Structure 1
């Protein structure tokens, strides 16, 4: 890359001052600069994958645009059924002791939490009900919270209801996002099909922000299109990023965001028809930690990872490849992806967005099922040292076991 990138220009000035004032997120030490040599296999650390669960269960780490970690890098939350096809339960993995414990059910009710989210500062765990899980008490799904920091300190805590959707509403993807301080949640409420859907599957959506302490609900965006993947931008939480769902061959407005000043009605912030004439087909966006940007996958040829800008500027391509999903490191330099090989075979790769180092394959082969949760969905640990991912049983990628793997990036020469 030559000259300043669009991202470096955006993060300059006030953005740089913000980073300088607050330092690194969560009190974590800053990541070291890149090594002087190319990333390499071998060295003192093993490049083997550590499997924290096996194919005898179905286990799943949370989605890339949400957070499962608390206490810095020590603990992360994941979903696991104790037996194949059994009820889904929430568990916490202790990376120091390499042990796990189960989060208690809510009064004996199954807590489904594939798309859980955790407040980075307070350890408050969110869990949203599906309409079926809400019954028989109510048909209005609720959002519950559990204090993980209290559980670690005392051995227990209590589920508390923090929100319930209005009559006739459901919660998109049965998930909500919580901000870093644990004071607000954001979600997409769905109210059924519009009279004349623009695209099959469209629903009336309301992007909602709720004050946990007061219960005050604010409707930020209301449209007759299906919105999902709601999450606070960790760089500037006044930005709430969300997706426009539906057949991406029929619309070109995937990445949306709300900001009280810059996008008060919500805006499609990543143009998909470029000045060059190139047309993008975007999916799987994730807001960045270090700048007002997002990383997102383009599924049109040439396929690749792109960086979009919340000010609506044209996006820039970061890498080319058969990528499926992506997460971005907290320093913004690296992107991890699951990359299609052939059939259901996948691999996990790390991309240096500066272009200094080539794409590095850190897991040569994993597997992919047709539908959620049987996608790899790789994520970085907060310190950037590890990648976590899901791996379905190759003998039955669609209904068999599902395990969680961890790979140590330091074994490949990446900065500590």
Structure 2
């Protein structure tokens, strides 16, 4: 494991942080004393990081622990984020941040947003300041700042993301206690599912799979998702799900899977764990504050441990992600005793068949 940058954390794992043809990565600089310090761009591959500051936010109005989660367009040098109830965008070539949209009076914006591949539109969830339903999904034009309502939900909808395989599909989640939510994973299409529909049947023989942290694929229309160790039903572990009628598939059993990612060619997945991957028990049983980074062969389900780190609260969740070329996995490496966090890199073993 190689430390990439101390005092920083990765974007949320279902978003994109890579730019400059995959050679650079947008990170959030972070201090446990003050929260988010801004955005910076680094070279992830070289020993010479060549860090380039991008954005320093105005003071937070919601407390020191407000988090800053950027999303980078897959095919354009543009990044978007939410801060202090407003969507901001930045052209990574010109370096000029712009406040694009501010929440309506009495409302706030969730802190996760999603840019289209071309960077021309950004989607965000708007909700009352008291966090009660309804939640409205907005699509905002980057060129005009005009916001259009895509749909609304009477429950806590969040984690909006464009499918990188087919961005006419917008994905989102029904958030809440995982064991109590039977319809976590949703997808919306302007004609096939204009109000969205649940795409994973979690009921199994009268019990429920507790699932979450879905990551939509690059090579296919669908997502990888973790069925947590706390699930009443089984088998638990890593699944693939699809919005087009294909059945969900268990990729690899695991009693502690927490977050996940998939390589852009679909060959490999990676999970972090709620506790040591080889400890007795499941979920958070006997977990301590340990999380392992584990490589998964999507075809066979075989698992290869890559690294060990800590399990702690945001932004010190490990959140492993593949580099665009699939040669490495990046993850957050936190210190629960100090609250500090760094971004770490571990190579994907070439010896793995």
Q: TM-score range by the shorter chain?
A: 0.7 to 0.9
Partner of 2:2: 50
Partner of 2:282: none
Partner of 1:314: 247
Partner of 1:354: 299
Q: Normalising to structure 1: TM-score of the pair?
A: 0.74
Q: 1:189 aligns with which of 99, 108, 126?
A: 126
| 2:197 paired with 1:246 | no
Partner of 1:32: none
Q: Give distance in 2, aligned partners of 1:79 and 1:317.
A: 33
Deviation string 1:90-113 (CA, Å, 9 cap, x unpaired) is 11112343231222425x657976
CA displacement at 1:337 relative to structure 2: 0.7
User: Residues 72 and 115 of structure 2 are in contact (CA less than 8 Å); yes or no, is this contact kept in structure 1?
Assistant: yes
| 2:107 paired with 1:169 | yes
Question: RMSD of the TM alignment (CA)?
Answer: 2.2
Q: 1:403 aligns with which of 331, 342, 350?
A: 342
Instruction: Find runs of 4+ consecutive structure 1 residues off by over 6 angstroms.
Output: none
Partner of 1:389: 331
Deviation string 1:331-364 (CA, Å, 9 cap, x unpaired) is 1121111023131111101111100x7211111x
User: Residues 78 and 114 of structure 1 are in contact (CA less than 8 Å); yes or no, is this contact kept in structure 2?
Assistant: no
Count of residues in Structure 1 that have an aligned counterpart in Structure 2: 331
Q: What secondary structure, in the 3-state scheme, does the structure 2 residue paired with 1:384 have? A: coil
| 2:74 paired with 1:146 | no
Structure 2 gaps of 5+ residues are 277-286
CA displacement at 1:219 relative to structure 2: 1.5
| 2:76 paired with 1:101 | no
User: Residues 36 and 67 of structure 2 are in contact (CA less than 8 Å); yes or no, is this contact kept in structure 1?
Assistant: no
CA displacement at 1:289 relative to structure 2: 0.7
Q: Give distance in 2, aligned partners of 1:220 and 1:83.
A: 36
| 2:209 paired with 1:280 | yes
Q: What secondary structure, in the 3-state scheme, does the structure 2 residue paired with 1:376 have? A: coil
* Residues 319-328 or 301-310, more deviating: 301-310
User: Residues 68 and 82 of structure 2 are in contact (CA less than 8 Å); yes or no, is this contact kept in structure 1?
Assistant: no
User: Residues 113 and 128 of structure 1 are in contact (CA less than 8 Å); yes or no, is this contact kept in structure 2?
Assistant: no
Q: 2:223 aligns with which of 294, 298, 303?
A: 294
Partner of 1:114: 68
Deviation string 1:258-317 (CA, Å, 9 cap, x unpaired) is 10111111111111124x556311111111111111111112143201111112443111
Structure in which a larger fraction of residues adopt helix: 1
Q: 1:169 to 1:315 in 2, by over 3 A?
A: same
Q: What secondary structure, in the 3-state scheme, does the structure 1 residue paired with 2:28 have? A: strand
